[in-house]
Structure 1
Amino acid sequence: MIDDARSRSEKHAEISARAQDAAKIEQVLNEVARKTVQEHARAGRKIPVWRDGQVVWILPEIEDDGEK
């Protein structure tokens, strides 16, 4: 019984630690997505987006992100 409680406590602590990383993970994923869209825009390639219940291909606009 004590082992079960400790095991649950350890699992809870691990889940809590990972949840704290979620904001950082989301930030990194958003940055990667933004850079990828900009790369496609510079190369003149279309990207798929979800609109009105279907996938449509659009040519993204180039944003000035300060990078060269």
Structure 2
Amino acid sequence: MEVAAAKAIGAGLAMTGMIGAGIGVGNIFGSFLTGALRNPSAAASQVGNLFVGAALAEALGILSFVIGFLLYSGAN
């Protein structure tokens, strides 16, 4: 296998973490919505946790993008 092909495959695999981040954010907001509809009085106190969880999931997606980009454009 050529080095360029291996770099492209490795970068593509590393960037699949962005799919996981999208799924994670969807789960976070879906679970919050389910909980808020079941107990509306407690929803206001959980908004901070909602945004912290979404930010952490998005940070992992951005990290996977950066690692994939570095693998693809790195030195030979």
TM-score norm. by structure 2 comes to 0.37
Structure number with the bigger relative contact order (C-alpha 8 A, sep ≥ 6) is 2
Higher helix share: 2
TM-score norm. by structure 1 comes to 0.40
- Structure with higher Rg: it is 1
